[in-house]
Amino acid sequence: MTKKIYDAIVVGAGHNGLTAASYMAKAGLDVLVLEKNDYIGGAAVSRELFPGWKYSNCSYVCSLLRPEIMRDLELYKYGLQIIPYEGSATMMKNGDYYAHYHDHDMTVKSISRHSKHDAEAYDRYSRDVMRQCKIIKPLLKMTPPDLTSFKPKDILGALEFAKHFAAKDELGGLGEKEIYDTIRFYTMSIADYLDEYFETDITKAHLAGSAIIGTALGPCSPGSAYVLLHHYMGEVDGSIGSWGYARGGMGSITKAMGECLKSHGGTIQASSEVTNVIVKNGRAVGVATLNGDEFYAKKVVSNLDVKRTFLKITDESDLQPDFVERVKNFKIRGSSGKLNIALEGLPTFPSIPKDDPGGNGDLHFTETIEEMEGAYDDWKRGQWSKMPYVDMCLPSKSDPTMAAPGKHFMSVFIQYVPFELANGGWNEQRKQDFGNHIINRIAEYSPDFKDLIAHYEVRTPKDIHDEVGLTEGNIFQGELTMDQLMFNRPITGYAQYRAPIKDLYMCSSSTHPGGGVMGAPGANAAREILSDMNIKQKGNHY
């Protein structure tokens, strides 16, 4: 019996794998997605680990998921609904708080309680960051050009890239100063960048959080300003930089994508860990799974990060040594952990007035850049931060589907947590110590918090590495620094979603434009694959 040959096999049912698979299936391909876990979604999942509570176990908020992808894949049909944040707040030791709101005027009014200067500067800061967002937005759906190639496609691509940076027509003419500003923005630290606008520690600390989340950089590290941009370039319906919850948790995104894929005839097979890519005569022809099954396809697409793709499931002998070396050098350092907590009721945070919408979004405790940098210093020494930066939220305050009425789910993202500890590896005891450390930290700001805990899950970078499959637990599948962005992502010369092996492709967040549950790498990869197969997509935005 001859084995079936699929048009494409996608390795990994995370959001990018499912996005790529859905676009391909929509274009008429026969697509199979293989997933190692017994559930789909990768790092965009909603799992009920404790009866009655849905957890967004890994990623927890949504902003970067491209609206064009939601539109092309009609994800609303499969239940996807984004709920915008109402605000955000940093709680202060002196009992005060600093808040931003969905309403711009409320934000300005709120900042001016701390500093009139900062309240005014916030408008200018927003304008400048928005300019950078406008420049980068069109690049998100482009395949990065190969600057060393003389193919017409690459030359035109390079011009297109350059056009968006110069952005004359988009922004009504940028002068030299603005182009220099862009270059500065991409290379500066967030601490230096914010110093140019703001005077108070609390404003800077509140804003700087977006520049360190998920990255192994500190707020004083050059390049951290770009990470902030990465967190700002999303939108919730034209409200640029806004964040929201996926109704039903982040798993609703991948669930909807999975449904879309199936509706176009695609297949998902869970509990099927791919162990290697089968290469014959220099071409990828299929994959083998842990239980010995083999699947064949015209195209193999890896949604694993670049390290796993080339160091784990591809034989080194199928690759050039210098390429392997560069993959080994790819920076993918784990820096964050997570607590997912089921609560019997709503914890009180006395520093935020009751019913203040600032309390209905992301909550933080870090009051100064120094404290944040100190947290980073601990990580460098192989310890979890004594005074971590936390990005904490209660999606159940906005989403009625996460827990029963009156009960709550709390997602606590923690920066910084190392993949390997200086005093030896992670073990159960250390994991619990880490969890308790964070719980105690939260309890300092919420007297009734501990009593409300019904269940909690601790996730170290090691857990994320082992279970989800993100190497070292790096949430972006690779640092978002200039040396690993655009035509350098993941590997210089291989930024166009094609691996060095024919018919093997990459669609993970290790590729342009990176992580953050954006879906753009998957959609871009699908476009390249379909173009190699001479298949035209109809009516799509990618």
Q: Contact residues for other proteins (CB under 8 A)?
A: 67-68, 70-71, 75-76, 81-84, 86, 102-103, 172, 236-239, 247, 357, 398-401, 404-406
Paired sense of beta strands 244-246 and 274-280, if any:
unpaired
Tell me, what amino acid is at 423? N
Residue of 390, 58, 85 whose CA lies nearest to 253: 58
Give me the least distance between CB of 254 and other proteins, in Å please: 17
What CA–CA distance (Å, rounded) separates 248 from 241? 22
> Looking at beta carbons only, is 163 or 184 nearer to other proteins?
163
Smallest distance, Å, CB 238 to other proteins? 6
Under 8 Å CB-to-CB from 440, ≥6 apart: which residues?
none
CA contacts within 13 A on the Cβ side of 25: 25
Residue 79 C-beta: closest distance to other proteins, Å: 8
- Looking at the Cβ atoms of 67 and 493, the one nearer to other proteins is 67
Rounded to the nearest whole angstrom, what is the least distance from the CB of residue 106 to other proteins in the complex?
8
Q: Which residues pair with 31 in a beta bridge?
A: 8
Q: 346 or 504, CB closer to other proteins? A: 346
Residue pair 300/21 in contact (Cβ under 8 Å)? The answer is: no
Q: Which is nearer to other proteins, 103 or 316 (CB)?
A: 103
Residue 205 in contact with residue 195, Cβ under 8 Å?
Answer: no
Structure tokens at 411: 């997602």
Separation of alpha carbons 384 and 21, rounded Å? 38
CA distance 259 to 475: 25
- Which residue lies nearer to other proteins by CB, 84 or 493? 84
**Comparison of 183 and 404: residue with beta carbon closer to other proteins:** 404
Q: State which H helix or E strand residue 254 sits in.
A: helix 251-263
Tokens found for residue 415:
């920066």
Residue where the block lists tokens 């947290």: 375
> Smaller CB distance to other proteins: residue 61 or 236?
236
Distance, in Å, from the CA atom of 213 to the CA atom of 415, rounded to the nearest integer, reads: 7
d(CA 337, CA 412): 8
Closest by CA position to 442, among listed 414, 484, 482: 414
Closest CB to other proteins among 54 and 204? 54
In whole angstroms, the minimum distance from the beta carbon of 84 to other proteins comes to: 6
Q: Which is nearer to other proteins, 221 or 540 (CB)?
A: 540
- The H-or-E segment that residue 325 falls in is helix 321-329
Is there a contact between 248 and 395 (Cβ–Cβ < 8 Å)? Answer: no
* Residue 139: CB minimum distance to other proteins, A: 17
Q: How far is the CB of 35 from other proteins (least distance, A)?
A: 26
Q: Closest CB to other proteins among 193 and 245?
A: 245
Residue closer to other proteins, measured from CB, 267 or 401: 401
Three-state secondary structure call for residue 472 = helix
Q: Take residue 11 and report the two structure tokens written for it.
A: 């390795």
Distance CA 84, CA 105 (A): 17
Per-residue DSSP letter, 143:
P
CB atoms < 10 A from the CB of 392, how many?
Answer: 22
CB of 414 to other proteins, least distance (A): 27
Closer to other proteins by CB, 86 or 318: give it. Answer: 86
User: Do residues 65 and 542 make contact, with C-beta atoms less than 8 angstroms apart?
Assistant: no
CB of residue 105 to other proteins, shortest distance in Å: 9
User: What tokens were used for 74?
Assistant: 């009609």
Q: Least CB distance from residue 86 to other proteins, whole Å?
A: 6
Q: Is 329 helix (H, G, I), strand (E, B) or coil?
A: helix
Q: How far is the CB of 264 from other proteins (least distance, A)?
A: 18
Q: Report the C-alpha dihedral over residues 196, 202, 208, 213, rounded to 10 degrees.
A: 170
Nearest to other proteins of 28, 67 (CB atom): 67
Helix 15-26 / helix 251-263 crossing angle, nearest 10 deg: 20
Q: Supply the minimum distance, in Å, between the C-beta of residue 178 and other proteins.
A: 15
Write down the least CB distance from residue 517 to other proteins, Å: 15
